[in-house]
């Protein structure tokens, strides 16, 4: 089948199109396959909120829940079994993409967000999920908290491909890139191979505008500054990425077979309806990146999206935007702290909601 022209052009510009959603219904109905065939989708990301919505609203999980219930499986193991099943099936569906591209066809599964501030537990959970799904095109999502950074290094050193999530600041992003390289170096020092190890770094976008715009309003700042901080933040992240992959440290790893940790633009659905619905796609086009979109955003770009200014040409203006935002009284360091804390809490709340839903359904089926 022919690919949508707008999304095919986005892919040709070096942006891997991923879907930020997964459910058993998407897999079994053929919807996910049609997005691959017709909308250039080459990857899938999940999070606890996505699974909470998928499982609570579908009867397709009933048989598996019944089987788990009669076996008297605990809620935590049941939850992992259910989510791993969907991710495994999605990995299998996308395996031809992985074989064709040698890069994409990836599906992400997140560690328990309640472990976000526990390094050892996060690393142990990542290893367990990697074993449980047992597919080479899997990504384990690890949050970019301070405790998450050494868990990223440990996981990469073990040969586990990682999607680092919840990145908001340039400072933290640089630490994420360092953690990835440290993991590769450790693996080489231990005599391991870098073959098959991939990573993406999920830099969140729209949430930055939501928080900054609120503070600009409170400060009585120039309204023209609204809706600009998130793009500027992400554009400067790509500049930081370019600096890292051009440095001698990375070149030495690349010579040993290392693959770049691609920047991934996450949270790309606009939160403010006054902004163009493809804002965080068309203005973030750069080679070697990933944009993971909610289906609504994906279909909007397919319908009327188009390229904006290439990211590499925005660095000077982006720096000026963030400086103007700071001069208007917005403490960007505090913005990043708040967004990270809120991001971890939101996913933890969704995980708790999902756990309770599965617990209730297991009890009903016993």
Q: Which residues contact 341 (CB under 8 A, 6 or more apart)?
A: none
Q: Which of 141, 175, 226, 228 is catalytic?
A: 141
Based on the residue annotation, tell me whether 141 is a catalytic residue of this protein.
yes
Cα 261 from Cα 162, distance rounded (Å): 9
CB neighbour burial string for 94-125, b if at least 16 within 10 angstroms, e if fewer: beebbeeeebbbbbbbbbbbbbbebbebbbbb
Nearest partner of 83 among 35, 132, 121, 42, judged by Cα? 132
Pairing verdict, β 199-204 and 106-110: unpaired
DSSP state of 4: P
- CB-based burial label for 231 (10 Å; 0-12, 13-18, 19+): buried
| Contact present, 107 and 22 (Cβ < 8 Å) | yes
| Residue 173, number of CB atoms within 10 A of its CB | 24
| Contact present, 280 and 301 (Cβ < 8 Å) | no
Paired residues of 118 in beta bridges: none
Helix (H, G, I), strand (E, B) or coil at 327: helix
DSSP state of 102: S
- Token pair of 277, please? 């619905």
Q: Which residues contact 309 (CB under 8 A, 6 or more apart)?
A: 283
Question: For residues 23, 97, 202 and 266, what is the CA-based torsion angle, rounded to 10 degrees?
Answer: -60
What are the residue numbers of the active site? 141
């Amino acid at each position: 089948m022919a690919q949508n022209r707008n999304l095919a052009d986005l892919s040709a510009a070096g942006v891997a199109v991923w879907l930020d959603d997964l459910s058993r219904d998407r897999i079994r109905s053929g919807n996910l396959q049609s997005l691959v065939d017709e909308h250039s989708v080459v990857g899938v990301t999940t999070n606890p909120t996505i699974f909470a919505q998928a499982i609570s609203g579908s009867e397709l999980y009933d048989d598996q829940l019944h089987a788990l219930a009669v076996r008297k499986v605990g809620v935590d193991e049941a939850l992992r079994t259910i989510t791993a099943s969907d991710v495994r099936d999605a990995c299998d569906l996308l395996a031809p993409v992985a074989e064709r591209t040698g890069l994409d066809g990836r599906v992400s599964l997140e560690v328990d967000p309640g472990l976000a501030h526990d390094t050892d537990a996060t690393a142990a959970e990542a290893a367990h999920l990697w074993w449980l799904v047992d597919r080479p095109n899997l990504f384990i999502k690890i949050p970019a908290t301070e405790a998450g950074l050494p868990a990223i290094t440990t996981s990469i050193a073990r040969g586990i491909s990682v999607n680092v999530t919840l990145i908001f600041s340039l400072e933290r992003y640089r630490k994420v890139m360092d953690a990835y390289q440290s993991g590769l170096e450790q693996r080489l020092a231990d005599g391991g191979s870098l073959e098959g190890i991939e990573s993406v770094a999920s830099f969140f976008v729209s949430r930055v505008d939501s928080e900054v715009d609120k503070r600009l309003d409170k400060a009585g700042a120039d309204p023209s500054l609204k809706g600009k901080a998130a793009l500027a933040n992400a554009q400067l992240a790509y500049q930081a990425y370019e600096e890292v992959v051009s440095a001698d440290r990375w070149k030495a790893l690349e010579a040993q077979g290392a693959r770049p940790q691609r920047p991934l633009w996450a949270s790309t659905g606009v939160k403010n309806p006054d902004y163009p619905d493809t804002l965080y796609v068309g203005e973030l086009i750069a080679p070697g990146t990933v944009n993971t979109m909610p289906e609504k955003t994906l279909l909007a770009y397919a319908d009327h999206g188009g390229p904006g200014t290439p990211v590499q040409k925005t660095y000077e203006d982006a720096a000026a935007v963030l400086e103007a935002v700071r001069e208007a009284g917005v403490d960007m360091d505090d913005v990043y702290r708040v967004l990270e804390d809120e991001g971890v809490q939101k996913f933890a709340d969704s995980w708790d909601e999902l756990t309770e839903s599965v617990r209730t359904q297991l009890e009903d089926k016993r």
